[in-house]
């Protein structure tokens, strides 16, 4: 069933990540009418110096 790959900046608390995956799972099950055990979510934490938008590293933004 569905697998979500989510990239986000590092530093969020385990509680916030838990809240996110619970909400995504709940809504996915509601919309797709599937079992929660079939929803996979992979969180990949990225350092700000490894992510750029518009040619500017996030670690260098003010």
Q: Is the dihedral of CA 12, 47, 37, 25 positive or negative?
A: positive
Q: Which of 2, 20, 41, 58 is catalytic?
A: 2
Q: Which helix (H) or strand (E) holds 52?
A: strand 52-53
Contact, 39 vs 28, CB < 8 A? yes
Is 14 a known active-site residue?
no
Residues with catalytic function:
2
């Amino acid at each position: 069933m569905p697998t979500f790959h989510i990239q986000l900046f590092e530093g969020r608390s385990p509680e916030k990540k838990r809240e996110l995956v619970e909400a995504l799972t709940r809504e996915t099950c509601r919309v797709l009418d599937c079992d929660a055990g079939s929803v996979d979510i992979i969180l990949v934490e990225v350092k700000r110096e490894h992510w750029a938008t518009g040619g500017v590293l996030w670690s260098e933004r003010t």
